[in-house]
């Protein structure tokens, strides 16, 4: 795909949704971090249902640490992998208090040192809260990037690096959200809504007929 097409794609996505953001509910960087940790292999809807009950009770490292693993599990037991996630969240809270004065770090190295925080989670926090032009490639972004040919790659890291390099700089900060939302609601996995897609004429996917 050439640079002109990419620019037009993101111009249209921007025009349709000028201020995209995550669908996770949060009011602080700590709430965002915990929500993203909980969202691994889970839907944003299921995470929001849990955190809507958890955060009014505990929404700081200190207060969640006081709940303990058992207490935390009561709030997140509807989320997949909640046992390991509860362990990771409690460990993360302790590290934030012991090593970062209770603050969420604004750099990849320290974020990825937190239990339950991988590259994708760190990228979400760095992009969504700290305004850094990172690209958190999930299944939606990986699919959309490869299917449209915006940025192809065999694995998520390859796609991430190509997107950061190829997305026009003026769109890079919000591209993460546009691509996720496009993959979640339009360019879906099993039956993409090509007829309702605002970038269909720019997409370089060759086998659209299989979804007709």
109/182 same-domain check: no
CB atoms closer than 10 angstroms to residue 18: 8
Of the chain, the end-to-end C-alpha distance in Å amounts to: 23
Residues with Cβ within 8 Å of 15's Cβ and at least 6 positions away in sequence, in order, are: none
Q: What is the dihedral of CA 109, 111, 129, 37, to 10 degrees?
A: 150
Residue 148: give the domain boundaries. 3-20+134-206
CATH of the domain at 45: 1.10.340.30
48/104 same-domain check: yes
38/123 same-domain check: yes
184/167 same-domain check: yes
In a domain, 60, yes or no: yes
138 given a catalytic annotation:
yes
162/116 same-domain check: no
In a domain, 37, yes or no: yes
Q: Which of 74, 85, 98, 138 is catalytic?
A: 138
Q: Which of 73, 85, 120, 174 is catalytic?
A: 120
The whole-number average pLDDT for the span 47-60 is 96
- Note whether 120 and 113 are within 8 A (CB): no
104/152 same-domain check: no
- Quote the pLDDT of residue 209: 55
Domain count along the chain: 2
Residue pLDDT, tens place only, 21-47: 999 999 999 999 999 999 988 999 999
In a domain, 48, yes or no: yes
91/139 same-domain check: no
54/115 same-domain check: yes
139/118 same-domain check: no
In a domain, 212, yes or no: no
Residue pLDDT, tens place only, 107-162: 999 999 999 999 999 999 999 999 999 999 999 999 999 999 999 999 999 999 99
154 given a catalytic annotation:
no
Q: What is the pTM of this model?
A: 0.89
Q: Which class for 23: exposed (0-12), middle (13-18), buried (19 or more C-beta within 10 A)?
A: middle
- Note whether 165 and 158 are within 8 A (CB): no
53/72 same-domain check: yes
6 closest CA partner among 181, 152, 157, 188: 152
Domain end point (choices 98, 128, 158): 128
């Amino acid at each position: 795909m050439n640079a002109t097409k990419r620019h037009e794609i993101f111009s249209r996505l921007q025009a349709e949704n000028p201020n995209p953001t995550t669908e996770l509910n949060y009011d602080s960087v700590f709430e965002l971090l915990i929500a993203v940790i909980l969202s691994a292999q889970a839907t944003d809807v299921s995470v929001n249902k849990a955190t809507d009950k958890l955060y009014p009770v505990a929404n700081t490292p200190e207060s969640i640490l006081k709940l303990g693993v058992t207490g935390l599990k009561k709030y997140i037991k509807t989320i997949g992998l909640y046992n390991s996630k509860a362990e990771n969240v409690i460990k993360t809270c302790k590290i934030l208090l012991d090593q970062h004065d209770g603050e969420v770090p604004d750099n990849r190295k320290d974020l990825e040192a937190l239990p339950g925080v991988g590259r994708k989670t760190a990228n979400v926090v760095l992009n969504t809260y700290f305004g850094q032009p990172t690209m958190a490639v999930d299944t939606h972004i990986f699919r959309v990037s490869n299917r449209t040919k915006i940025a192809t790659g065999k694995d998520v890291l390859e796609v991430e690096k190509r997107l950061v390099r190829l997305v026009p700089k003026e769109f890079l900060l919000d591209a993460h959200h546009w691509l996720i939302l496009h993959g979640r609601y339009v360019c879906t996995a099993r039956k993409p809504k090509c007829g309702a897609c605002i970038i269909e004429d720019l997409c370089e996917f060759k086998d659209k007929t299989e979804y007709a």
